Chains A and B, each alone.
Chain A
Amino acid sequence: MALELEHVTKRFGKFTAVDDLSLAIPESEMFGFLGANGAGKTTTFRMILGLLDPSGGKIAWNGKPIDYSTSPLIGYLPEERGLYPKLKVKDQVVYLAKLRGMAKQDSLKELTYWLERFKVPENANKKVEELSKGNQQKIQFITAVIHKPKLLILDEPFSGLDPVNVEQLKDAVLDLKNNGTTIVFSSHRMEHVEELCEHLCIMQKGRPIVHGSLKEIKRSFGRKNLVIHGDYDLGFLAESRGVMKSRQTAEGIQLQISGEEAAEAIFREVAEKGFVRKFVLEEPSLNDIFIEKAGASYE
Chain B
Amino acid sequence: MNNFMTILLHTYLSKLKTKSFIVTTLITVVIVAGLANLSGIIDYFNKDNEERIAVIDETGVLLNPLQEQMDALNNEITLIAYKGSEAEGENAVKDGDYRGLLLLSFNKEELPEAAYKAKSIADSAIPSELQGGLQQLKTQMAATQINLSPEQLSKLYEPVPFEKTALEENAKTEEELNQARGLVYVLLFIIYFAVILYANMIAMEVATEKSSRVMEILISSVSPIKQMFAKILGIGLLSLTQMALILLVGYFSVKQNLDTMEGGFFEFFGFGNIPASTIAYALIFFILGYFLYATLAAFLGSLVSRIEDIQQMITPMTMMVVAGFMISMFGLSQPEASFVTVTSYIPFFTPMLMFMRVGMLSLPVWEPILGIVILLAAIVLLAVFGARVYRGGVLMYGKSNSFKDIKKALQLTKNE
Contact = CB atoms under 8 A, between A and B. Distances in A.
B256 interface: no
- In this complex, the member of A85, A95, A99 whose beta carbon has the largest number of chain B beta carbons within 10 angstroms is A99
Given A82-B216, A84-B214, A100 B416 contact: no
Interface string B205-220: 0000100111111111
Interface in A55-83: 55, 68, 71, 74, 76, 78, 80-83
Contacts of B395: 46, 51-52
Contacts of A143: 217
Contact of A68 (B14, B213, B217, B223): B223
29 contacts: A11-B416, A12-B411, A46-B395, A49-B220, A51-B395, A52-B412, A53-B413, A55-B415, A55-B416, A68-B222, A68-B226, A71-B220, A71-B222, A74-B220, A76-B216, A76-B220, A78-B216, A80-B397, A82-B212, A82-B214, A82-B216, A83-B212, A96-B221, A98-B3, A99-B3, A99-B6, A99-B221, A99-B222, A143-B217
A163 interface: no
Contact of A99 (B14, B213, B218, B411): B218
Contact of B221 (A13, A71, A82, A84): A71
Nearest to B391: A51
Contact of A13 (B7, B209, B213, B411): B411
Interface string A1-33: 000000000011100000000000000000000
A82 B3 contact: no
B119 to A, nearest CB: 56
Given A11-B416, A52-B412, A54-B415, A96 B216 contact: no
Given A84-B212, A95-B6, A95-B10, A78 B217 contact: yes
Nearest to A96: B217
Classify chain A: how many residues form its interface, as a range.
Answer: 20 to 34
Nearest to B226: A68
Contacts of A55: 415-416
B222 A85 contact: no
A98 B6 contact: yes
A76 B217 contact: yes
Given A76-B217, A80-B213, A82-B216, 14 more contacts: A50-B220, A52-B395, A52-B413, A53-B415, A68-B226, A71-B222, A78-B216, A80-B216, A82-B214, A83-B212, A84-B212, A84-B214, A96-B217, A100-B221
Classify chain B: how many residues form its interface, as a range.
Answer: 20 to 34
Interface in B226-242: 226
Contacts of B226: 68
Contacts of B14: 87
A100 B226 CA distance: 14
A99 B5 CA distance: 10
A224 B14 CA distance: 59
B213 A78 contact: yes
Contacts of B221: 68, 71, 96, 99-100
A27 B397 CA distance: 33
Nearest to A12: B411
Nearest to B208: A84
Nearest to B218: A99
A51 B219 contact: yes
Nearest to B413: A53
Contacts of B217: 76, 78, 82, 96, 143
Interface in B318-338: none
Nearest to A71: B221
A147 to B, nearest CB: 9
Nearest to B394: A51
Given A76-B220, A95-B10, A96-B221, A83 B214 contact: yes
B392 to A, nearest CB: 9
A81 to B, nearest CB: 6
Nearest to B395: A51
- In this complex, the member of B6, B209, B214 whose beta carbon has the largest number of chain A beta carbons within 10 angstroms is B214
Contacts of A78: 213, 216-217, 220
The 4 closest A-B pairs by CB, nearest first: A82-B213, A53-B415, A82-B214, A99-B221
Contacts of A49: 220
Contacts of A50: 220
Contact of B212 (A11, A85, A98): A85
A84 B217 CA distance: 11
Interface string B178-197: 00000000000000000000
B1 to A, nearest CB: 8
